[in-house]
Amino acid sequence: MAGQLPHVLVISGVSSGVGKTSIAIGIMASLTHRGMRVQPFKVGPDFLDPMHHSLACGGIPSVNLDGAMMGRDGVLESFSRNCRASEADIAIVEGCMGLFDGRDGHSDCGSTAEIAKWLHAPVVLVVDAWCLGRTAAAIVHGYASFDPDIRLAGVILNKIGGESHAQWLRDAISSSVLTKGVLVLGCLPKSVAVVMPERHLGLHLPSSETHTTIQHHIRLLIDAHVDLDTLVSRMEDADSAVRAPTSALSLPVLPDTLNRDLSRLPPVRFGVAKDDAFCFYYHDNLRHLEAAGATIVFFSPLHDTTLPSGLHGIYLGGGYPELHGSILEANKSMRASVHAFASGGGLVYAECGGLMYLANTLHDGHEGSFAMAGLLPFDVTMTPRMVMGYINASPSPALASLLRLPINLVLKCQQFHFSEATNDVGKPVEQLGPTGVGIGWTGVAHPAFHTTIVRSSSHTPQSSPEGIVQASTIATYCHVHFGATPEMAPALVAAARRHMRYVSFEATATETLGAIWTTKDDEDGYTTNPSVLRGISEFCTSPAWLVRSLPKLTLSLITATTSQEIERQVQELHATGLRDLHTIDTVSLQMSKPDVVFTQEACDRCAVTDSALLRALDAVGLADVTSTVLCRPLTVNDMLSQVLRLAAVVGESRRGCILHAALTRRLQVVRDLIDAENPTKPRVLGLESAFPLVVSGQWLPDMRLRAGGVEALNESYPGCPPRRLQWDEIVAASPEVLVVACCGKSATGSAKEVEEHLAILPGFWDLPAMQTSPPRLYVVDHDLSSRPGPQLVDGIEILAALLHPTIEFPCQSLHKVVLQFVGPQRCLNMAEYFVPVNIKVGTKIDATQLETLEPSPIATSPRTLSPIQSLPAPTIATSQAPPSGAFPLAVSAHVLLSWNHKLLLLSGDTSPLDDATNLWEADVSLANDGAPSSLLVWRPAPCTAVYGEAVPTRRSNHAAVVWGDILVAFGGWDACGLHPLADLELLDLTTRCWTHGSTVGRPPSPRGNPSMVLASNRVLLVFGGWNGRDRFNDVVQLDLTSWSWSTLSAHDELHPASPSPRTDHTAIWWPSHSKNEHDRSGDDIMVVFGGSDKHQGPLNDVWAYDPSRAGTVDAWEQWICTGEVPPPRTSHAAILADSHEIEDMDDEDDNDDLASERYRLLHRVACARGYRQYVDPGSGYTVFTALYLKDRACCGYKCRHCPWGHKNVKKGVKNPNPNLEW
């Protein structure tokens, strides 16, 4: 029952020992045997009963519901989440003690009655009737009337002497007017076969054989003597009554820690001890650890010889180590493994039995002593005295520092143990003050908690130190419920991250980590630990304090220093088939034993690529225990998001948020100053190489725009890839400011590159940038802009000062070298005339004053055009999320497609902006009685990219179609919603591999909100859209055979026989099988509806475009519609229903158009990049390119890598029947 909460029943007793656990287990087993999925629960902090529940319910974990620790919201959240996780049909809650017994005598706090009322659940009362007659009716009456909010579903009378005894009891209950309405659901005879053995902490552990036999007998007894059908019907009746609108079960709205951000972080492997000696765990504790980013790895201190490999933390729960002391002592290798892990700085969290295992020696109280792990400075001794009760615990300064917890945090927990910490002569280490309250433990410098016992008396309880914190080890007798203290699990996981080992092969990651670790956090005041960074690449040069003493694990094979020589050397290396331009010191890599490595895949010249690193990790046996974090920010917003992500990776989320806020504030100050002055924004062109000519892309256009410039090249926008260009493109762009920052070079090095390669080009001195006095030609140190880390904000401040010299910007870093050319026109020795720029500096802002900072419009501005102000997109409400799937973030401006009986959701506007899940899918092929299932399960669809390509581009308001097994995406707006896109990207849906679409001809200009249709399976038509200033009505065609763009209908605002320029419209392809020269209804046409233009606003006109008549006045025709025409609208959707078109898109053979054209495209991309071979994403095979085969004769076997394909595609059967009556 994944779509709703199941029916629920509470089974309670008049007191402890009446058999309620046996009866609850029997009912669970019987209902499970009937085929129901039963979700078991246990009221209170008991650990043993839930183990028996799980065995009876086929392994479904039983969950504790403790009102005293968890509170109402925590109980309801846990109940709801666990029922949905198990897809339960029914929930059975076993109570604790008597129905009304709880934490004190004047309330129902912590009682079974409290849980029953919170869940609105009916109660079955178990009565031990062995020595009862008519008194049983009085007992039942008392329980039924004591609390009018308790709804008694019936009673089960246990330990009946025989059938006559059972009838006597039934008559007693039915004959009284006070109890005749109470239903007797069953009378169970006393049976020695179902006695559950007990121990000092409760029942015995459910061993595999004995307890299975007992549970089988209990189930048979329940089947024979309890009316389960009536019991279930009473549950359903009570459930339907309580779920009426006037008294519906109201679940709390709690923060959901199961978010996509955590799921994208490297996992923290938590080893959890799980065997007969260590078995006391709240199931919710493990769930909360997983929700915080932990991967649970179970191990057995009894039977395993060592800890599992690659652990980052250990959780030792309670249990019965005293019963297994000899086995634990004999397992010396496991004790040594735990000792080594903790001594090496690994995080260890031990509760009760776990504390006993970490002690020096365990004394069992019967003259038996056993050596334990020897980590803690005391022994433990079993005593006859029980310590039990609820505890309020506050973290000690040492624990607060280790876990970064607030010192005034109150943790809800409980204690239940018979052992105590002792010295080597058996005396307790707890020291008592004059009032008898503990004041510390002998030999323990840093306790774990300051604890107070929760009592019902009115006097103020006194606090006493408890437990121990020693390095990164925490040991306590307190059982903390992580659901009751939601800060605990994330704190443990983050602490484990702060003790993991890291290696950075990416300079941006190193710079960002340095900025995070040096960010001040005045509120917590805890120090950071940069020593966890164990190694870097040779290109990691900043910050100096961090990198100066770290080993460098890479060496570049590129030894040239000039751009021309570097390019030549790279081509030579590629020509030999060498793809990796860096060597990795695998010996040092193996010695560093990293848990996480930071890498990149954008540039094989600047750093080791992700694929090369994975091969190196595999070679040294670390691939299975080392996670990789891919750093690929493409815009300034990406950089800001990466700050948060890397901070979370290393367990410094709070400092990451502070740094993020400070950087955002500085960017906002630059924006505010520019908006206030409203200066003329110059056309800026940025180059990252003078030979060959490469215009800078990715985050650099974003920097120039944020600094108050305008891109001189229309094709440049935030996130766009850098590209080679011709000199005449630069001349045509007429830049008013020219900024050169050659990759890997200082400002003086870039000045020499300008002199050698730019100044000699025709028209250089005539550029507008060179015509001012002095010329506005700047060369910049590459590290100011080449690494998308926090230094980008320094670069934006300096660049803003260069573009607007009359405004005083609060530049934070003036030590960066920026040179300006001040020499005469057409001078020789041009590099000698570059001098440092004197930047006017305004008042520096205090980046910590962030209380009034609002989200920047840059990150939130909607790009869908509307004549009225856009409203926030409504969030789609989904009543119950099925546990087997997920839901995409609330999304707008996306594309929804169908392929192979699946819905595909591509990209769009989401929050948070750094959500990297580009593609989601939902299978709609499931059927229910011949109809589509009403339950749609969404799942993220992980994708990869062709080697060396930074795809897919995050976008919104784009266009996409499915061509066979290829998803084609075009246009839209960038991730910031600032700039239109013109790139084409393809996703192979069979392999989930993205690649760039390499095309020829003039593509459509950058635009958002266009339409795109697939015509005749070989042509794409793009129509309309807008760039933030102008709307379009041009039709541009992409031939999928030649991958060439051509304009069929040019942009024309005044042409009367074409639709007005528009955006936010819809277009569909309407195929037909006949061609009639005089009848337009027989043509293959593109139909366009609605949208908005700049004159009329929303539209509802319908236009038909015939590509076969392109270039004529008859290409467009407006259709006149009748009937109830839809009102004008924008941002809508349209589909073609009942076109009678038959197309076989799945019947591909090895020689079809789609496959051959795809290979042709991949081959063109590989050749353009100088590759002699590439990996085909459709098969995984390596394919040789023409560069490799140019000296070889054709083999004649029509190989896949040849530039020719076979034409053998079935044509669809088409039957037009245009009918436009709405």
For 482-504, write each residue's pLDDT tens digit.
999 999 999 999 999 999 999 99
**Strand pairing class (473-476; 347-351):** parallel
Is the pLDDT score of 750 beyond 50? yes
pLDDT of residue 278: 96
Eight-state DSSP code of residue 958: -
Q: What angle do CA 614, 561, 572 make, to 5 degrees?
A: 60
- Domain 7-247: give its CATH architecture: 3-Layer(aba) Sandwich (3.40)
- Is the separation of the CB atoms in 202 and 46 below 8 Å? yes
H/E run at residue 363? strand 361-363
Ramachandran quadrant class, 814 (left: phi over 0; alpha: psi -120 to 50; beta: rest)? alpha
Average pLDDT over the chain, rounded to an integer: 82
Instruction: Compute the C-alpha angle 688/561/759, nearest 5°.
Output: 50
How far is Cα 666 from Cα 662, in angstroms, rounded to an integer? 6
The token pair at 631 is: 């750093």
| Phi (first) and psi of residue 64, to 5 degrees | -80, 135
Inter-residue contact 686 to 949 (CB < 8 Å):
no
pLDDT at 1167: 64
The DSSP 8-state label assigned to residue 463 in this structure reads P
Q: Which amino acid is at 1021?
A: L
Confidence of residue 1156 (pLDDT cuts 50, 70, 90): low
Mean pLDDT of 464-479: 96
pTM value is 0.68
Average pLDDT of 733-750? Answer: 91
Q: Are strands 777-780 and 737-740 parallel, antiparallel or unpaired?
A: parallel
Phi and psi dihedrals of 171, rounded to 5? -65, -40
Rg (CA), the chain: 36
Q: In terms of DSSP H, where are the helices of 555-604?
A: 563-575, 586-592
* pLDDT for the residue numbered 659: 96
Burial of 449 (0-12, 13-18, 19+ CB in 10 A): buried
Distance (Å, whole) CA 750 – CA 754: 6
Q: How much is the pLDDT for 1160?
A: 61
- Which range among 507-521, 585-599, 643-657, 902-916 shows the weakest confidence by mean pLDDT? 902-916
Q: What pLDDT digit, counting tens, does each position of 407-438 carry? A: 999 999 999 999 999 998 889 999 988 888 88
Helix axes 507-517, 636-649, angle to 10 degrees: 70
Active site residue 720: no
Question: Three-class SS of residue 1210?
Answer: coil
pLDDT of residue 519: 93
Which tens digits make up the pLDDT trace of 929-955? Answer: 444 445 677 888 888 877 667 788 888
Give the CATH class of 502-632. alpha beta
Options 352, 413, 811, 1167, the catalytic residue = 352
What are the residue ranges of helices labelled H in 778-934? 791-803, 857-860
Task: Extract the tokens encoding 686.
Answer: 């940025």
Q: What is the DSSP string of 283-315?
A: HHHHHHHHHTTEEEEEE-TTT-SSPPTT-SEEE
b/e for 1133-1157, b at 16 or more Cβ within 10 A? eeeeeebebeeeeeeeeeebbbbbb
Phi, psi of 598 (to 5 degrees): -100, 130
CB 311 within 8 A of CB 349: no
**pLDDT above 80 for 968:** yes
pLDDT digits (tens, 9 = 90+) for 847-877: 444 333 333 333 333 333 333 222 233 232 3
Return residue ranges of the chain for CATH 3.40.50.880. Answer: 260-495
Q: pLDDT tens-digit profile of 326-348?
A: 999 999 999 999 999 999 999 99
d(CA 917, CA 1168): 29
Contact (CB, 8 A) for 961 and 897 = yes
Question: Where in the sequence of the chain do the CATH 3.40.50.300 domains occur?
Answer: 7-247
For residues 398-409, give the mean pLDDT: 94
Asked if 433 and 439 count as a contact pair (C-beta separation under 8 A), the reply is yes
Summarised one tens digit per residue, pLDDT across range 1065-1093 is: 999 998 874 444 445 555 789 999 999 99
**The amino acid at 168:** W
Q: 3-state class of 425 per DSSP? A: coil
* Greater model confidence, 1207 or 73: 73
Helix axes 791-803, 699-706, angle to 10 degrees: 50
Give yes or no for a contact between 581 and 611, defined as CB atoms under 8 angstroms apart: no
Contact 839, 814 (CB under 8 A): yes
Give 692: exposed, middle or buried? Use CB within 10 Å, 0-12, 13-18, 19+. Answer: exposed
Structure confidence at residue 625 (pLDDT) = 84
User: What pLDDT shows up at residue 50?
Assistant: 93
Please give the pLDDT value at position 847.
44
Residues paired with residue 79 on neighbouring β-strands, in sequence order = none
Q: In the structure encoding, which two tokens stand for residue 1152, read together?
A: 């079809």
Cα 200 to its chain centre, rounded Å, is: 44
Distance CA 91, CA 43 (A): 13
Residue 1171: pLDDT above 80? no
Q: How far is CA 280 from CA 50, 62, 738, in A?
A: 10, 12, 68
1076: number of Cβ within 10 Å:
11
CA 398, CA 396: separation in Å to the nearest integer? 5
Query: What mean pLDDT do residues 954-983 have?
Result: 88
Task: Look at residue 1065 in the predicted model and tell me its pLDDT.
Answer: 94
Which residue, among 645, 980, 665, 691, has the nearest Cα to 789 in the 3D structure?
Answer: 645
β 944-945/993-996 pair status? parallel
Q: 677-836 has which fold?
A: Rossmann fold (3.40.50)
Separation in Å, CA 1115 to CA 291, 901, 1023, 1075: 58, 35, 13, 15
Which CATH number does 260-495 carry? 3.40.50.880
Average pLDDT over residues 1217-1221: 42
Q: Above pLDDT 70, what percent of the chain? A: 80
The pLDDT value recorded for residue 766 is: 95
8 Å CB contact between 977 and 861: yes
Window from 199-208, 245-254, 837-846 with minimum mean pLDDT: 245-254
- Degrees (nearest 5) of the Cα angle 596, 600, 605? 135
CB 320 within 8 A of CB 277: yes
Q: State yes or no: pLDDT of 1062 exceeds 90.
A: yes
What pLDDT score does 197 carry?
57
* pLDDT value at residue 746: 87
As given in the structure block, the two tokens for residue 521 are: 């956090």
